Amino acid sequence: MPENQNFNSEAGLPVNRRAGKVSKYKIEHYVAPLDETPLQAVDSVKETGKPLSMWAEAWRSLRKQPLFIISAILILAVIIVAAFPQWFTSQDPTYCALENSNEPGREGHIMGFNLQGCDIYSRVIYGTRASLLVGIFTTLIVIIVGGTIGALAGFYGGWIDTILARLGDIFFALPLILGAIIVMQLPAFRDNKSVWTVIITLAIFGWPQLARITRGAVIEARNADFVKASRSLGLSKFKSLVKHVLPNSIAPIIVVATVNLGVYIVAEATLSFLGVGLPPDIMSWGNDIATAQTQLRSNPMMLMWPALFLSVTVLSFIMLGDAVRDALDPKARKGA
Amino acid sequence: MLSFTLKRIAQLIPVFIGATLLVYFLVFATPGDPIAALSGGKPMTPATEAALRAQYNLDQPFWIQYGLYLKNLVTFDLGMSFSGQPVADLLGRAFPVTARLAILALLIEGVFGIIFGVIAGMRKGKFFDSTILVASLIVIAVPTFVLGFVLQFVIGVKLEWAKPTVSGAGTWSELILPAMVLGLVSLAYVIRLTRTSVIENKSADYVRTATAKGLSRNRVVRVHVLRNSLIPVVTFLGADLGSLMGGAIVTEGIFNVPGVGNLLYRAILKGETPTVVAVVGVLVIVFVIANLIVDMLYALLDPRIRYA
């Protein structure tokens, strides 16, 4: 099946289309006269310029996808808000006056006030940073740790692989939130609650999944002909892993990592909601939602605003992952 | 088949020991003296304290504690909670509630997920498909606890269609709303998974053959497309049963369900090792058995898969 599709895409679409059109209107065994379809047109292969790499081709199809454009703009916006919250609000999120407690929105304070009389809008803006930091750094650590372990296990196999499989089984059987609650109770974590403890905790339970995916992709690439060729040309095992296997197995890792970035942001909010995540003095969407739950009946918007920002951020990372997957998978790109 | 099943059950043992050891160690390493907490911070006579410590094996080093725990486990003695109740009793009361909750959630996911997924997949690119895709993305992006609060507030408090919280009995009908919340995120994944799988299979040769044979569209979809699309979905559902029981911590907290998640959460905060390890052990067993069932379903769904 895959050969078939490759053949179609490599043969060049224009030629195929014309052939299809002709057979539709005329008799099936129509043979085009030579002057109508010159030989060069049939056999023509673009020889000028290098063939596009997988990434260049993926980028070309990504640029045209509305899903990608929307999510990329949203993510860019969130990153800017996280980096420069002061550009988006002149309010001090830590200035709270009890006289404003649970007041609805008014000029200058479009989202109203929370129970303590703090401006909800500025808290939402300043809360972006913690959530995004957790998402980005957890993903980075998971890629480095899980990717390395998965690549070594998949490439070398043997006992490393066996140990990884069993370790992965143990971590897999423990649900993320459950494991994270237990780890967050450890003295080293409970006494130093910060963004970093949350990041490390989530990474501890996040790496096995990425290791498994990397392992699968590496095993697939390891047996490819070009890897065998590089080995027979005298490249060392490790070098062929770094130079040939890894670059060719990175696509599924990127897709999963993008989607998981959103998942980690949700996990941080859930941990903060359960009271074991970020300390209450760090402004984050999760903390604000957690404090808002007691006020749900009197001031539901206090919960809705941070939840909305959180959801839109997570949504844009998931959409980005979806778009990248479609772009890297030629089967999906043709819209078959 | 039998030897395969036995082999898989044997594989359960290292996973079980590894997971319980990990959890036992983590809870062991947690500071705070549970015995001091038991007396509410008031002074205790050294004799009482020593007796209590001996009762819970807290005077022993880690490996001996864990070994004693495993030894008792073989005789189905799960130990005592710090409030003096046998852990087996606590678990016996909480487990059926969570089991009902997880089964309901799994049913909601499975039935609606597969139906919506098949319809969306068969009508790829049409209105229903796009709506379902957007809706499922939104459900995945909104945290479970936000969904839980909103549904509790709207359905339970405003519309009064269901009770906003669950009674001590945790009956089936009371658990429908929490199960919806619990299953909603996975429902979105099931829909998307089924949809992708159906799209992949509906252009397969055997589907064309079946249509060409003159079979009704209904039969083609049910027998030829669906059955061949179910393997990834069933795999997901099996793995999900474990995370549903773990994810119940949040849902059970919101709806006040007296289940395993609630029990576990309180036990973790109290540092009550026997309870935590027992609950996690049960969760691990459920997870591994669910995956075993999934592997057996493979053979049922795809006759090409055989376990010698």
Q: Which residue has the tokens 């499975």?
A: B110
Q: Which residue has the tokens 């519309």?
A: B159
Interface test with A, best of B149, B244, B291, B295 (most A CBs within 10 A): B149
With CA atoms as reference, the chain A residue closest to B245 would be A175
pLDDT at A9 over 50: no
Residues of A in CB contact (< 8 Å) with B are 166-167, 169-170, 172-178, 181-183, 185-187, 190, 262, 266, 269-270, 273-274, 289, 293, 296-297, 300, 303, 307, 310-312, 314-315, 318-319, 336
Q: What is the token pair recorded at A211?
A: 């290791």
Low-confidence residues in chain B, pLDDT < 50? none
Q: Which chain B residues are closer than 8 Å to A177 by Cβ?
A: 246-247, 249-250
- Burial (CB < 10 A; 0-12, 13-18, 19+), residue A225, is exposed
**A294 DSSP assignment:** G
| CB atoms near residue B156 (< 10 Å) | 16
Q: Are B196 and B118 in contact (CB under 8 A)?
A: no
CB-based contact A174 B19, cutoff 8 Å: yes
What b/e readout covers A107-122, taking b as 16+ CB neighbours within 10 angstroms?
eebebbbbbeebbbbb
Shortest distance between the Cα of B220 and any Cα of chain A, in A, equals: 20
Longest C-alpha distance within chain A, in Å?
Answer: 89
Q: Which residues contact B87 (CB under 8 A, 6 or more apart)?
A: B78, B79, B80, B81, B274, B275, B278
Considering only CB atoms, A303 lies closest to which of B23, B29, B149, namely B149
Shortest distance between the Cα of B268 and any Cα of chain A, in A, equals: 7
| CB atoms near residue A23 (< 10 Å) | 12
DSSP result, B147-179: HHHHHIIIIIIIS-SS-SS--TT--TTTTHHHH
What's residue A15's pLDDT? Answer: 45
Q: Tell me how many degrees the CA angle A229-A7-A21 measures, rounded to the nearest 5.
A: 165
Helix axes B87-122, B273-301, angle to 10 degrees: 30
Q: Are A301 and A112 in contact (CB under 8 A)?
A: yes
CB-based contact B15 A178, cutoff 8 Å: no
Average pLDDT, chain A: 77
Q: Which residue has the tokens 């990834």?
A: B232
Phi-psi region of A119 (alpha: psi -120 to 50; beta: other; left: phi over 0): beta
Across chain B, the runs of DSSP E, i.e. the strands, are none
With CA atoms as reference, the chain A residue closest to B284 would be A173
- CATH level 3 topology of A57-331: MetI-like fold (1.10.3720)
What's residue B112's pLDDT? Answer: 92
What's residue B32's pLDDT? Answer: 57
CB-based contact B140 A297, cutoff 8 Å: no
- pTM surpassing 0.80? no
pLDDT at A140 over 90: yes
Tell me the pLDDT band of A136, cut-offs 50, 70 and 90.
Answer: very high
List pLDDT tens digits, range A201-227: 899 888 888 888 888 888 888 888 888
List pLDDT tens digits, range A143-159: 999 888 888 888 887 88
Euclidean distance between CA atoms B105 and B113, whole angstroms? 11
Q: Are A321 and A62 in contact (CB under 8 A)?
A: no
pLDDT at A32 over 80: no
What's residue A23's pLDDT? Answer: 46
pLDDT at A172 over 80: no
- CATH level 3 topology of B88-198+232-303: MetI-like fold (1.10.3720)
Helix axes B127-141, B87-122, angle to 10 degrees: 150
Q: What is the token pair recorded at A285?
A: 């969407």
Q: Which residues contact B235 (CB under 8 A, 6 or more apart)?
A: B294
Q: Which chain A residues are closer than 8 Å to B31 by Cβ?
A: 187, 190
CB-based contact A318 B284, cutoff 8 Å: no
pLDDT at A12 over 90: no
| Amino acid at position A299, single letter | N
Cα separation values, A234 from A157, A227, A240, Å = 21, 11, 10
Helix axes A301-328, A120-156, angle to 10 degrees: 30
With CA atoms as reference, the chain B residue closest to A276 would be B269
pLDDT at A273 over 70: yes
Closest CA to B258 of B117, B138, B93: B93
CB-based contact B141 A289, cutoff 8 Å: no
List pLDDT tens digits, range A219-252: 888 888 888 888 888 888 888 888 888 887 887 8
What's residue B31's pLDDT? Answer: 57
Size of interface A-B (CB pairs under 8 A): 119
Q: What's the whole-number mean pLDDT along residues A90-110?
A: 70
pLDDT at A77 over 70: yes
Q: What is the token pair recorded at A243?
A: 């130079």
What's residue A50's pLDDT? Answer: 64
CB-based contact A183 B26, cutoff 8 Å: yes
Domain boundaries, chain A: 5-43, 57-331
CB-based contact A311 B141, cutoff 8 Å: yes
Considering only CB atoms, B153 lies closest to which of A186, A296, A311, namely A296
Domain boundaries, chain B: 88-198+232-303
CB-based contact A185 B27, cutoff 8 Å: yes
What's residue A35's pLDDT? Answer: 63
pLDDT at A10 over 60: no
What's residue B116's pLDDT? Answer: 92
Q: Are A67 and A319 in contact (CB under 8 A)?
A: yes
Q: Which chain A residues are closer than 8 Å to B280 by Cβ?
A: 174, 178
Q: Which chain A residues are closer than 8 Å to B14 by Cβ?
A: 166, 169
Interface test with B, best of A4, A131, A163, A174 (most B CBs within 10 A): A174
